[in-house]
Amino acid sequence: MGVEIKESRVTDEEFEEMAAFVFEYLAASVENEDEGGRMRWYPWHSADYRHNHILNVVDLAEEIAEREGADVDVTRVAALFHDIAKLDAEQDVHAEEGARVAREYLQTRGDYPDSFVDAVCSSVAEHSYQGDLTDLPLETQCLIEADLLDKVGANGTALMLLRMGYEARTHMDAAEMVERVLERGRDATDRVQSDTAESIAHRRLKRVKWFREWLTEEVAEIDEFDG
């Protein structure tokens, strides 16, 4: 069962303001970096990419929350803030730092109940949890599942192929890179717990398998991987 915070509805206008704040925070994080920055040579460490990833996670988390009976407002707001500190904090503390930023925003820019703020910030702080997802509140589970699923499917495949260019690899290595997406997808499928997330994972994996099959049929001398 999800948390019940029925008095804490977030309007579309409020949510849009939050989204704008998150992008501005990410952009400022990049501007404040020293020359080169934290892995800045990869485009997915830019404010634009990180914000797009966040919005993808929001959409997925909302879908899972609606179908699984979680509190949708808690889930979507937590999803919006989950990676806000990704570009200015170390990886192992970015979740806790994101929760701090989310709490400051929610307590100073709205009249949200403490129970709502606590639930959102708890989900943000726990979104990097590596244990059994059933140990967590349903809203946090939905967020983690959405975060996992954004790296699977067409989006994950496109990112892997982009990475080839930054590693000076050719299209001859494409099947290997796509296989990495499949491995990630299998891992995600093993971790997710909800029926909704599992269904999304299988659907996305199927598309990646189709793409790998096209590669092996149309690009000469590509060795097909098992799977």
Residue with tokens 């501007």, as numbered in its chain: 31
Token pair, residue 174, equals 């494409």
Instruction: Output the pLDDT for position 5.
Output: 56
Instruction: Verify that 26 and 79 share a domain, yes or no.
Output: yes
* 7 located within any domain: no
Domain count, the chain: 2
For the chain, give the number of residues.
Answer: 227
Residues 89-106: what's their mean pLDDT? 94
**pLDDT tens digits, one per residue of 83-96:** 999 988 888 899 99
Which of the two residues, 131 and 3, has the higher pLDDT score?
A: 131
Instruction: Verify that 176 and 94 share a domain, yes or no.
Output: no
**pLDDT tens digits, one per residue of 30-65:** 876 654 444 454 555 678 888 999 999 999 999 999
- Band of residue 136 on the pLDDT scale cut at 50, 70, 90: very high
Which of the two residues, 134 and 110, has the higher pLDDT score?
A: 134
Residue 58: give the domain boundaries: 12-144
d(CA 54, CA 128): 14
Q: What are the b/e assignments for 34-65, b being 16+ CB within 10 Å?
A: eeebbeeeeeebbbebbbebbbbbbebbbbbb
Instruction: Output the pLDDT for position 153.
Output: 84
**pLDDT tens digits, one per residue of 171-226:** 667 777 788 888 888 989 999 999 999 999 999 999 888 888 887 777 765 555 44
d(CA 179, CA 184): 9
Which of the two residues, 19 and 46, has the higher pLDDT score?
A: 19
Instruction: Verify that 137 and 163 share a domain, yes or no.
Output: no
* 225 located within any domain: no
